[in-house]
Structure 1
Amino acid sequence: MTDDFPHTWQASVLNGAPMIMPARHFVFPLAIAGEEEALARGALWLNVKPVDGSNFVAQCALGFSDKNLASGLWSTPNPDHLLAVAGGYAYRIPASQPEATALLPIRPVVSVHAAPEAEALILIGFHDAVILTPDGMWQSPKLTWEGVTEVAVDGTILRGKGWHMPSDKELPFALDLRTQTLTGGGFNP
């Protein structure tokens, strides 16, 4: 678990299904077309204890079986939310209302980076990023034609490189996490 932001819940990753399932057990993703077989790939199991109420188990289906994709548990800029990433699929789970869990629109998530100064948690995909904030989330413009590399957080700026197809070069980018302004990058329409 990565604990970069204050939070109101406690959580742990389990090795599998608990021997005794608590009364509250949630399976994610919810019914989504094309995801009927997601749980067959495996799942990330979490035990979550919200600040108020009883604990619950969250079973988060793996997006992909690739070990190079992100998997794990992160605190987020919203103290009630936790982020579970299972084989590149990202689930934003409100600890006080787990039935409102959202499967995030970026698939697969390749890496996750905290930017505490910007109150942001950054999920990097193949072409762009999703940024979680205390009040919600936003999606970056395209950063590359394919593959974001050399990712680093510099205060409130996300830096990295992205492949520019016409020149076949990796070009640097800087994304201001407060203003949502992108400078540079490998994707120029």
Structure 2
Amino acid sequence: MYIPVSPTDHPFLSLYSEGFVIRFYTTDGGSWVANFNLGDTTFHQVFDFPETDLTLVIAGGRGYVMNRNQVKPLSSFGGDLQMALRTPQGEVVAASATAIAILNSKGEQWTSSRLSWDGIKDLSLEGRLLQGYSHDPIDDKDEWVAFTVDLDSKQSNGGSYARYFHAEGSPKKTRRWWPFLA
């Protein structure tokens, strides 16, 4: 029998719902099977942190930070995660449609400010600099805009959202496309 795991204390709508199923092996030699409630994408991946008892399970785009000896998640995040990669330092970098989340082996998580309107692709690492492209559907070009995130300072540069809004959310002054209304 499996144990349903969800981001809240409420189980699935049906106890028999099929989620993302994982078997955990506990430190005392036992095991248990988890059925993770899915997020909103088709992306599934599991990252183990060998220096701790933590595991990151991404089930249908929702991230669950699990201790293999406990049946309840320590935390959960996302819902629309679309890709993830591991850094040489052991962190996991996960991308949603609009932002980046970083999780370390202690279970500490950081999420970037908004980088994209709707879509991130082509993530890569060059040293401690994360590079990628964010979608800009605002103008007629329908283009992908480069961005970077320094994994140490957590500073981001570029991205489609930064074209129109400051980091705190206030709009930037741009040229009006409706000058006849002025």
Cα separation, 1, equivalents of 2:99 and 2:133: 11
Work out which of the residue numbers 147, 163, 169 in structure 1 matches 2:119. 147
Work out which of the residue numbers 109, 118, 129 in structure 2 matches 1:157. 129
Aligned letter for 1:173? F
Q: Which residue does 2:55 correspond to in 1?
A: 82
> 1:9-29 CA distances to partner (integer Å, 9 max, x unpaired)?
xxxxxxxxxxxx4xxx53110
Superposition map of 1:37-48 within 5 A? 37=13, 42-48=18-24
Q: What SS does the aligned partner of 1:99 have?
A: coil
When residues 148 and 155 of structure 1 are mapped into structure 2, their CA distance, relative to the original with a 3 A threshold, is same
Cα separation, 2, equivalents of 1:141 and 1:51: 37
In structure 1, the gaps of 5 or more residues are: 1-20
Q: In 1, are the aligned partners of 2:5 and 2:71 still within 8 Å (CA)? A: no
> Between the two proteins, what is the percent identity of the paired residues?
21
Cα separation, 2, equivalents of 1:73 and 1:48: 11
Cα separation, 2, equivalents of 1:183 and 1:77: 32
Aligned letter for 1:60? F
When residues 100 and 91 of structure 1 are mapped into structure 2, their CA distance, relative to the original with a 3 A threshold, is closer
Q: Which residue does 1:186 correspond to in 2?
A: 160
Cα separation, 1, equivalents of 2:8 and 2:138: 40
Cα separation, 2, equivalents of 1:181 and 1:170: 20
When residues 156 and 39 of structure 1 are mapped into structure 2, their CA distance, relative to the original with a 3 A threshold, is farther
Query: Is structure 2 residue 105 aligned with structure 1 residue 130?
Result: no
Larger RCO of the pair (alpha carbons < 8 Å, separation 6+): 1
Aligned letter for 2:147? F
Structure 1 vs Structure 2 CA RMSD: 2.5
Q: Which residue does 1:91 correspond to in 2?
A: 64
The structure with the largest alpha-carbon Rg is 2
Deviation, 1:59, is 1.2
Q: What SS does the aligned partner of 2:47 have?
A: strand
> 1:119-167 CA distances to partner (integer Å, 9 max, x unpaired)?
3201111000211013310101111111001111222221101123444
